[in-house]
Structure 1
Amino acid sequence: RKVLVSGLPASPGLAAGKAHVILDVKHIDEFQDGEILVTEMTAPDWVPAMKKAKAIVTNSGGMTCHAAIVSRELGIPCIVGTASRGAAATEALKTGQDITVDATNGVVYEGILEEATKQVPAATAAEGGAVVTAVESYPITGTKIYVNLGEPDLADKVSKLPADGVGLMREEFIWASYIGEHPLYLIKVGHPEKVVNGLAEGFRKVAQAFNPRPVVLRFSDFKTSEYRDLKGGEEFEPQEPSPLLGWRGASRYYDPKYIEGFKLEVQAVKKVREEYGLKNLWVMIPFTRTVDELRKVVEIMDEQGLRRGPDFKVWLMAEIPSNIILADKFAQYVDGFSVGSNDLTMLILGTDRDNGTVGHIFDERNLAVLRAVKQLIKVAHHYGKTVSVCGQAPSVYPEFTKFLVEQGIDSVSVNPDAVISTRKNVAAYEQRILLDGITKKGMVEDPDLRWDPFPE
């Protein structure tokens, strides 16, 4: 067996087929169903091709990059960061070349391996009706198990998982696959309804599939570089040296240059809740740097008729250190927090999560991150607010989920492929906590987890 390239195993699985190297998103229309997508890195506007891919291999990126997250949701094998492991995939692989992608071990082999051709997709067995399986029951847990979801067309399938709702619904799939045009451009040409109707239809599909279980929608969190890729976007988006730390999230929503675009998102949420009667749709505000930013965004929502209440919850995505340090202040304006462990880890450790060179430093299990999450749970609960987590960490590291349960987290939201295992793990962790409470012989908590390390 000849190894062509290796990288990080971002989404496990085995697939074989013909490679298709695409270096520019302008050429994704040339991509065919069942090919293996090979590129530098994906972004939201690559989603139409990703949905047709049998597997994905990229030059750059880490375990929390766009390609990794989307591939896990779509259930397709994915290897990222090949350039940092010796050879860039776009240089080592050629379009039309037969390859086998072993994304469980992060290796791409030359040719079609026999074991890859014997793989039978789970969906085929289920739909064929020839395979009979026993109905499995799943434990009830005190900690709610939510699922992360972005692609509305997967909602019916994912809703059958033993999940208590959607803890993170991403808008970006809808923008890339259903709208494709910049909101301010559509306002300029007189068609703002395309945004409202397009978003509302995507929201409806997910909320209806999961009803009455809650669906927590994260308002748009495109970076300026991603907004520019939408039709008409170049006129409205600046060129930023570091989009990850630039004009994104809440800072856009109240900005006079973008506020009208944000209002369209709010109107779409209202349409689903009021016209379609799907009251299980909640919202989450991402990347909010200051308390004043949060106040401004909540006021805009209030003015548009979208107000917090018994059946409408507003969460804050806790992904910036200020969200933790000032949790008591942010808590005034929301019903709960959801830890975005990807960006929170990046900002606490000062590591670009998409940079393979420093990827070995990025680790959600770092003590600094654990202390921050523990502190947030403590403060939020003091003020009667719930805490969830929606980053990649619980999907990848069972020990991180164990830590969350021990700290009293209210819910965890994981990728579809991790829902069942997470539910079983959480049930075991909760039983261990109960047993330790009865016997008084449980493990003593690591004193290093204390936010204030000085003894009282």
Structure 2
Amino acid sequence: MESAKITTDRKVIAKGLPASPGLVSGRVHVILDPSRIDEFKDGEILVTEMTAPDWVPAMKKAKAIVTDSGGMTCHASIVSRELGIPCIVGTKSRGEAATTAIKDGIDVTVDATNGVVYEGIIESAKKPEAAASVVAAETFPVTGTKIYMNLGDPELAEKYSVLPCDGIGLMREEFIWTTYIHEHPLYLIKTGHPEKVVDQLAEGFRQVCQAMAPRPVTLRFSDFKSSEYRDLKGGDEFEPYEPSALLGWRGASRYYDPKYIEAFKLEIKAVRKVREEFGLKNLHVMIPFCRSVEECEKVTNLMAQEGLSRGKDFKVWLMAEIPANIILADQFNKYVDGYSIGSNDLTMLTLGCDRDNDTVSHIFDERNLAVRRAIKHLIEVAHKDGKTVSICGQAPSVYPEFAEFLVKNGIDSMSVNPDTVKFTKKMVAQVEQRIMLDALTGKGKADDTDLIW
């Protein structure tokens, strides 16, 4: 790289969606077959069709990531923003696919702020960093709306613990499986090593809880799809082939299933180990993709039988990401302490729009009236029974008007990626101040009557 030729010519070779901002130069490594992930080296630029959970070890080494497919809520986008890696997705929807347009082994400059890949090392991307200067300490306003943070990689917990967040609103368990465990839980049970699951999960949870203490950490139980579980060692023996894994055997439906229940019990044991053995009582849990009230009852009963019962210092949340969670919120209230709106899946299922399908990605929009009506209804019904409502997703920090809608309608908290915590904190403070000023002067904008359902 040091001997690479620097150029001032800006020859564009690929364009896509700017999923995670940044400007870097480096050597391209095109990987089309997941079996070749181990060949990827530190500091290379990863170019591929699309990433999945088992790609995370390679993604952590990458200087930048460029994909053929995907939108702003795809796996590559979400993980790159959390890792702070420049990323461009969906190049196929903007012209020629990156894996075709960008040749393996060449030097490129990735401008992920604007979604452009240039051939060669552009001079502006190689400018040395300016000497550090003395700056005033950054301060952040106190907000009535709590601002939580999303996190997947436990190793980043210490780094991000200094951010002005109120805790972890969404800890993704899947990172630990793909980065540290690598093996299917049922395979480990079959081979006599279930303790590997408990110990590795507990260690990951401990890292995050310890770094964030005394702030709360909400762990989302595993939400792999069958196709992703199959990629773990031994997974072929236990996973079905589903035509639509996104709507298949995932989330809560696995936990009480006789075919998977023993694996879920290992997750419960890991949570208990952190809370009881390590004494980190700031760990709470969340149930994902729960399709019915009966399913929620089964899962919470199973948890209680295994020693995890709701109480004053242990909360159970539900991901509100299926229309049924909204429509039947008055009944779900009985079994949970609150909700976290999974705006990505909720928008997809409300609009019937595959968020990872480039052909219809332009239809996917969390600001759609149907989605906003659903969220408003959930907040109202949850609050009637003293339940809290949060949202985990990028929409509040991407669309200021969406954040204003959430605050005006009483959202209790928002959970965003680390790179937008500061921005979201300040933006929410401004929205709250505007609401107070409008109430004081009586001259604020009229409420949106379209939201009445």
What TM-score do the two structures reach when normalised by structure 1?
A: 0.96
Counterpart selection for 2:292 from 290, 293, 312: 290
Q: How much does 1:94 deviate? A: 1.3
Task: Give deviations 1:227-274, integer Å, cap 9, x for gaps.
Answer: 000000010000111111110000011111101110000100000000
Q: How much does 1:305 deviate? A: 0.3
1:431-446 aligned within 5 A:
431-446=433-448
Q: What is the DSSP-based 3-state SS (H/G/I as helix, E as strand, rest coil) of the residue aligned with 2:319?
A: strand
Q: 1:23 corresponds to which residue?
A: 32
Please tell me whether residue 57 in structure 1 is matched to residue 59 in structure 2. no
Q: 2:255 corresponds to which residue?
A: 253
Q: What is the DSSP-based 3-state SS (H/G/I as helix, E as strand, rest coil) of the residue aligned with 2:382?
A: helix
Q: What is the DSSP-based 3-state SS (H/G/I as helix, E as strand, rest coil) of the residue aligned with 1:357?
A: coil
Q: Match for 1:161: what amino acid? A: L
Q: 2:44 corresponds to which residue?
A: 35
CA distance in 1, matches of 2:335, 2:213: 26
Task: Give deviations 1:70-101, integer Å, cap 9, x for gaps.
Answer: 00000011011111111111111111111111
CA distance in 2, matches of 1:233, 1:193: 18
Q: What is the DSSP-based 3-state SS (H/G/I as helix, E as strand, rest coil) of the residue aligned with 1:428?
A: helix
Q: 1:91 corresponds to which residue?
A: 100
1:350-369 aligned within 5 A:
350-369=352-371
Please tell me whether residue 71 in structure 1 is matched to residue 73 in structure 2. no
Q: What is the DSSP-based 3-state SS (H/G/I as helix, E as strand, rest coil) of the residue aligned with 2:141?
A: coil
- Decide whether aligned partners of structure 1 residues 353 and 30 sit closer, same or farther in structure 2, where only a CA change above 3 A counts: same
**Structure 1 runs, 4 residues or longer, greater than 4 Å off:** none
1:318-333 aligned within 5 A:
318-333=320-335
1:108-147 aligned within 5 A:
108-118=117-127, 120=129, 130-147=132-149
Q: 2:419 corresponds to which residue?
A: 417
Q: 1:240 corresponds to which residue?
A: 242
Please tell me whether residue 46 in structure 1 is matched to residue 48 in structure 2. no
CA distance in 1, matches of 2:399, 2:231: 34
Q: Which is worse superposed, 436-445 or 130-139?
A: 130-139
Q: Match for 1:269: what amino acid? A: V
Counterpart selection for 1:170 from 150, 169, 172: 172
Q: Is the 8 A contact 1:395 1:415 kept in 2?
A: no
Q: Match for 1:109: what amino acid? A: Y
Task: Give deviations 1:375-394, integer Å, cap 9, x for gaps.
Answer: 10011001110000002212
Q: How much does 1:395 deviate? A: 3.2
Q: What is the DSSP-based 3-state SS (H/G/I as helix, E as strand, rest coil) of the residue aligned with 1:297?
A: helix
1:2-13 aligned within 5 A:
2-13=11-22
CA distance in 1, matches of 2:135, 2:123: 26
Q: 1:407 corresponds to which residue?
A: 409
Q: How much does 1:294 deviate? A: 0.4
Q: 2:5 corresponds to which residue?
A: none
CA distance in 2, matches of 1:227, 1:392: 26
CA distance in 2, matches of 1:146, 1:345: 21
Q: 2:3 corresponds to which residue?
A: none
Q: How much does 1:133 deviate? A: 2.9
How many correspondences in the alignment?
444
Q: 2:4 corresponds to which residue?
A: none
Q: Match for 2:215: what amino acid? A: R
Q: Match for 2:342: what amino acid? A: G
Task: Give deviations 1:431-456, integer Å, cap 9, x for gaps.
Answer: 111111111111111110112xxxxx
Q: How much does 1:348 deviate? A: 0.4
Q: 1:221 corresponds to which residue?
A: 223
CA distance in 2, matches of 1:158, 1:298: 31
Q: Is the 8 A contact 1:394 1:413 kept in 2?
A: no
Q: 1:448 corresponds to which residue?
A: 450
CA distance in 2, matches of 1:119, 1:351: 44
Consecutive unaligned residues of structure 1, counting only runs of 5 or more, are 452-456
Q: How much does 1:120 deviate? A: 4.3
Q: Match for 2:70: what amino acid? A: G
Q: Is the 8 A contact 2:397 2:423 kept in 1?
A: no
Q: Is the 8 A contact 2:182 2:233 kept in 1?
A: yes
1:343-354 aligned within 5 A:
343-354=345-356
Q: Is the 8 A contact 1:370 1:449 kept in 2?
A: yes
Q: How much does 1:131 deviate? A: 4.2
- Decide whether aligned partners of structure 1 residues 6 and 49 sit closer, same or farther in structure 2, where only a CA change above 3 A counts: same
CA distance in 2, matches of 1:120, 1:153: 26
Q: How much does 1:119 deviate? A: 6.4
Q: 1:303 corresponds to which residue?
A: 305
Q: How much does 1:400 deviate? A: 1.3
CA distance in 2, matches of 1:280, 1:119: 42
